[in-house]
Amino acid sequence: MTNNADRLTVSEARLRDMCQRLLVALGVADEDAAVCLDVFLQAELMGEESHGLRLFLHVLGRLRAGGDRADTRVDIVTDRGAMAVLEANRSLGQVVAAQAMRMAMDKAADFGIGFVGVRNSNSYTSAKYYPLLAVERGMIGITYTNTSRKLMPPEGGRTPILGNNPMALAAPAGRHPPFVLDMACTRAAVERIVQAKEQGERIPEGWALDREGHPTTDPAEALASSALLPFGGYKAFGLAVGHEILTSVLFGGALFAGESSGFLPYEGTMNTSYSFMAIDVAAFMPLEVFRDRMDQVIDRIKSSELRPDASPIRVPGERAFAEMSRRRDDGVPVKKLTLDRLTEWCIKLGVDG
């Protein structure tokens, strides 16, 4: 472990061991704990710290309070051909989501495409994790989710109506890393605003409104109003509604996640719904041909002449995979505050940190 101002660099193995022990101490089965933790560590390794260990701490709180079930219980509501709907019963979102994505992949192997929906679950956090499972099997993966916190007003409104409703899509390539797009429908994820507040920073104009409906650069005001702006005005708001249709509406989940308000209160329900699609590339063409065509697409994108003073062109996912490689070699820089809170949990649960 090395020190660096407000961060400590910790090996992936040490983080994995400590956090696995914490989940097990809270009643999560070893296999489920490994899946849940893998989602958060992938986010940390890829530099997506907003969805990494700082949110893992919320999951620990919810497990202890009973908002998230420690024992996974998933019921099959419908299972017909290439599609299925699952009832999550408040089980750990990461575990249920990974199970649903794998079910979609199995169906895609049989039918060329698989589509699986989940209702009444908890946040699955980093969306990109699940489509990347499909990439490992030579498939294209897609996921949509609604969110348990109302964050986005419609065009002209100031009252948040629905969540930022992220989506992610990943596809395998050959010479290049997989293409992976992971985005919310707001200009920024709420966790980035929380981070700005914690670090005493302003947020860019256009990210959020204050409680009176005026644009603000104060993260505290943005969080007080919970009114985050869509990245493309009415177009992105409409896209978020589309994601709501492809999740809660279609699967019989709580519309707009019901009365839930995010991770807090820890004993509360999150009522999250999500969907997973897997497309078996081999049903359309040989996988190696597809990989080569993806490389051609990426090469073509990178061939664009740069604007003055622009950084080298990157495609979605490229930066994250480069960061993952660095952090696996050099260790994960984790905020001291986050490590302190993990240590507190170790002491509280009698776990060797």
Q: Which CATH number fits domain 2-67+319-349: 3.90.850.10, 3.90.76.10, 1.10.1530.10, 3.90.550.10?
A: 1.10.1530.10
For residue 20, what are the CA distances in angstroms to 29, 31, 127, 351?
10, 10, 21, 10
Span 63-72, average pLDDT: 98
Please write the tens of the pLDDT for every residue from 118-140: 999 999 999 999 999 999 999 99
Span 186-196, average pLDDT: 87
Residue ranges, CATH 3.30.1370.60, the chain = 75-203+231-287
Is the pLDDT assigned to residue 5 strictly greater than 80?
no
Distance CA 163, CA 221 (A): 18
Is the pLDDT assigned to residue 112 strictly greater than 90?
yes
Contact 65, 244 (CB under 8 A): no
Please write the tens of the pLDDT for every residue from 157-169: 999 999 999 999 9
Distance CA 292, CA 115 (A): 26
Is the pLDDT assigned to residue 1 strictly greater than 60?
no
Mapping DSSP to helix (H, G, I), strand (E, B) and coil, where does residue 265 land? coil
Contact 207, 222 (CB under 8 A): yes
- What are 300's two structure tokens? 């073509």
CATH number, span 75-203+231-287: 3.30.1370.60
Contact 319, 313 (CB under 8 A): no
Look at residue 3 in the predicted model and tell me its pLDDT: 62
Contact 101, 115 (CB under 8 A): no
CA 1 to chain centre: 27
Look at residue 192 in the predicted model and tell me its pLDDT: 86
Please write the tens of the pLDDT for every residue from 113-123: 999 999 999 99
Contact 90, 68 (CB under 8 A): yes
Query: pLDDT band at residue 190, thresholds of 50, 70 and 90?
Result: confident
Higher pLDDT among residues 198 and 118, named by residue: 118
CA nearest neighbour of 155 among 227, 212, 225, 237 = 237
For residue 323, what are the CA distances in angstroms to 48, 170, 232, 272, 315?
10, 17, 28, 30, 14
Q: What global pTM score does this model have?
A: 0.95
Residue ranges, CATH 1.10.1530.10, the chain = 2-67+319-349
Span 45-57, average pLDDT: 95
Distance CA 277, CA 268 (A): 29
